[in-house]
Amino acid sequence: MSRYQNFVKNFEKAVLKNKRHIEEIEVIAVSKRKEVNDIQLVIDEGHLSFGENQLQEVTKKWPELKKKNLDTKLHFIGGIQSKKLTEIVNYCDVIHTIDREKLLPIIKKIDNSILENKTFFIQINTGDESQKSGVLIANADEFISSCIENFNLNIVGLMCIPPANKDISAYFSSMNELNNSLGLNQLSMGMSSDYLLAREHGATFVRIGSKIFGNRI
């Protein structure tokens, strides 16, 4: 059994134990610092949803992979530099890290024929941490309303990376409550170390790297 198959087996058991349907949760295989051949092996096992956190890796690997694997979906899960945003939107299907007002006018300049096929998540700074990006919880409603009403973005949900060494469960729970209160139906949270807990608190997307690809060099 491959590493990927072993992960899927354990993941399906965990989801069923939590009385959720496996279709409710999409696993994003985080392929950062992995070669095209490594990614292709996972695609060949039937996985189609992948995540990258740097534009350089996206442009290096994914034109070739997308050409060969038309059904794959690419998620951008890293911090966004304003000057790189247009390229990120052009290459990626889903953007998980819209985190500040400055990005919105840049997106508005992108052709509607491209934007109509893209979906966006708003990154929330759940712990109000100065060193982290993200919209503060208190500003989330106003920010999302601006994204939709003034910039016509297809906002589907929230994304977060909770503070380290704290009660992660409480942060995941508050994110789920906020997401529901805003009328959004997708929630991107949870990584290899805490995806089981995120699943219990309503995550619909989890970002898994090492449990699928192994440790990165």
Domains in the chain, CATH or no CATH each: 3-213 (3.20.20.10)
In which element (H, E) is residue 123 found?
strand 119-125
Which phi and psi angles does 98 have, rounded to 5°?
-75, 115
Q: Which residues contact residue 71 at a Cβ distance below 8 angstroms, ignoring those fewer than 6 apart? A: 48
| Distance between CA atoms of residues 132 and 153, nearest Å | 23
pLDDT over threshold 70, residue 12:
yes
What contacts 42, CB < 8 A, 6 or more positions away? 4, 29, 31, 50, 212, 213
18 pLDDT higher than 80: no
Q: How confident is the model at residue 98 (pLDDT cuts 50, 70, 90)?
A: very high
Indicate the pLDDT class of residue 217, thresholds 50, 70 and 90: low
pLDDT at 20 over 80: no
118 and 147 in contact (C-beta within 8 Å)? no
The H or E element spanning position 24 is none
pLDDT value at 61 more than 70: yes
Tokens 């982290």 -> residue: 132
Average pLDDT of every residue of the chain: 94
Is the per-residue pLDDT at 203 higher than 90?
yes
As to burial, measured by CB atoms within 10 angstroms (0-12 exposed, 13-18 middle, 19+ buried), residue 112 is exposed
Mean pLDDT of 21-36: 92
From CA 12, how far away is CA 5, in angstroms rounded?
11
The alpha carbon of 46 is separated from its chain's Cα centroid by a whole number of angstroms, namely 19
* pLDDT for 34 beyond 70: yes
Question: How much is the average pLDDT of 184-189?
Answer: 97
Q: What is the pLDDT of residue 130?
A: 82
